Amino acid sequence: MKNNTLKEIATELLKAESVLLFPHVNMDGDTLGSCVALCKGLRKLSKKAYVLIDEDVPLYLNFLVKDYCVRDMSKIKNPDVCVAIDSGEVSRFIKRKEEFFAGKKTMAIDHHVSTDPVFDFNYIDPKASATAMIIYYLFKEMKVEMDKEIGEALWAGITTDTGNFQYSNTTKETHLVVSELYDLGIDHNKISINIYENVRKEKVMMINKIMDTLTIFAKGKGALCYGTLEMLKETGATPDETEGVVESIRSIAGVEVAAFLREDDEKEIKVSMRSKSYANVAEIALRFNGGGHKNAAGCTINSTLDFAMKMLINEIEITLNNE
Ligand SMILES: [Mn+2]
């Protein structure tokens, strides 16, 4: 699939008068931080720009919303460009598909490997540790003068996608970009508290229940746990409050592959997988028509929770035995 240059992306955005930005569902700090940063940057160039969402913003990202996020398109009708941010797959914003393709031109800016060949313009850089990194370079290309607010939104994206600068996708370049953000006067401690120390007790109760389901397999190299609709009901937690579970169980000594299964419906199991170093979980996810990166991937399995668990454990064992 053709990948455009960042210059071509910049040129298209500079030509546009109105731009609508699309974060992916189950939004995270990178997709929303990148959207908000780009939205503000475009507004600084006197363009009409909004972020179109279709779900509640998780509490820890609420500080980003301001007047950037909207749920209906009435503020921008027939945008010149619609941009998918941090996802290159229509399935990641399926409920807003119609609105997306109402744009005169469509674009994807992303760092995930799998991309639908449906966009007019693509900029996919799998080497970027976060989409927020790409937005930073895009601003350089567009000559957008970044400010504190943009810097904080980009910082939010980079810190969440790099596991607060711990994951293997953290590079010298990541730190160089972040060092530039500090020059904008960002209050990283304030954002850190917002993102990492802003947990509802319902979430803590939910995590507690999930951890009770922990299974270790493949001679200690595999870890799996799950969350059910019933547990959500009992604790009052929201589905997105299971975020972070899979990273927690990956941190267990000796574990290489961790999987978390979330029952979204009776026969709709959302799977998140993480590997610690050598295993490629994107390959496992692909076997279930999912995708992602080597160390972080996901898929949806349409079966009962029990069956999904059996199949997944089997596939993870095959992968781990082949190493
Ligand atoms: Mn990302």
pTM, 2 dp: 0.82
Asked whether residue 85 falls in the same domain as residue 187, the answer is yes
Q: Look at residue 1 and tell me if it is in a domain.
A: no
For 288, residues 6+ apart whose C-beta sits below 8 A from its C-beta are: 271, 299, 300, 301, 311, 312, 315
Asked whether residue 230 falls in the same domain as residue 179, the answer is no
Distance CA 114, CA 298 (A): 12
Asked whether residue 154 falls in the same domain as residue 237, the answer is no
Give bridge partners of residue 299 from the DSSP assignment. Answer: 271
Asked whether residue 210 falls in the same domain as residue 187, the answer is no
| Final residue in a domain of this structure, among 174, 196, 218 | 196
For residue 322, the model assigns a pLDDT of 85
- The tens digit of pLDDT for each residue in 217-271 reads 999 999 999 999 999 999 999 998 998 999 999 999 999 999 999 999 999 999 9
The pairing of beta strand 69-70 with beta strand 48-52: parallel
For residue 75, the model assigns a pLDDT of 87
Q: How far is the CA of 34 from the centre of ligand 1 (A)?
A: 9
Q: Look at residue 226 and tell me if it is in a domain.
A: yes
Number of domains in the chain: 2
Q: Look at residue 45 and tell me if it is in a domain.
A: yes
Asked whether residue 191 falls in the same domain as residue 210, the answer is no
Q: How far is the CA of 128 from the centre of ligand 1 (A)?
A: 9
Asked whether residue 131 falls in the same domain as residue 222, the answer is no
Structure tokens of 226? 């799950």
| Final residue in a domain of this structure, among 196, 231, 266 | 196
| Final residue in a domain of this structure, among 150, 178, 196 | 196
Give bridge partners of residue 223 from the DSSP assignment. Answer: 216, 258
Asked whether residue 154 falls in the same domain as residue 245, the answer is no
For residue 74, the model assigns a pLDDT of 86
For residue 1, the model assigns a pLDDT of 66
Asked whether residue 43 falls in the same domain as residue 134, the answer is yes
Q: Look at residue 286 and tell me if it is in a domain.
A: yes
Within 13 Å of residue 141, how many CA atoms lie on the same side as its CB? 17
Q: How far is the CA of 256 from the centre of ligand 1 (A)?
A: 22
Structure tokens of 74? 């009435």
Q: How far is the CA of 279 from the centre of ligand 1 (A)?
A: 20
Cα 168 → chain centroid = 16
- The tens digit of pLDDT for each residue in 86-114 reads 999 999 999 999 999 999 999 999 999 87
Q: How far is the CA of 219 from the centre of ligand 1 (A)?
A: 31
Q: How far is the CA of 131 from the centre of ligand 1 (A)?
A: 5
Q: Look at residue 60 and tell me if it is in a domain.
A: yes
- Closest among 90, 126, 109 to 38, alpha carbons compared: 109
Asked whether residue 41 falls in the same domain as residue 76, the answer is yes
Q: How far is the CA of 130 from the centre of ligand 1 (A)?
A: 5
Q: Look at residue 309 and tell me if it is in a domain.
A: yes
- Residue 190 burial by Cβ neighbours in a 10 Å radius (0-12, 13-18, 19+): exposed
Q: How far is the CA of 172 from the centre of ligand 1 (A)?
A: 18
Asked whether residue 137 falls in the same domain as residue 236, the answer is no
Q: How far is the CA of 234 from the centre of ligand 1 (A)?
A: 31
- The phi, psi pair for 182, rounded to 5°, reads -60, -35
Residue 306: CATH number of its domain: 3.10.310.30
Residue 61: CATH number of its domain: 3.90.1640.10
For residue 314, the model assigns a pLDDT of 98
Residue with tokens 């001679």: 219
Asked whether residue 167 falls in the same domain as residue 230, the answer is no
Q: How far is the CA of 55 from the centre of ligand 1 (A)?
A: 18
Domain range holding 88?
Answer: 6-196
For residue 218, the model assigns a pLDDT of 97
Q: Look at residue 119 and tell me if it is in a domain.
A: yes
Q: Which residues of the chain have pLDDT under 70?
A: 1
Asked whether residue 190 falls in the same domain as residue 226, the answer is no
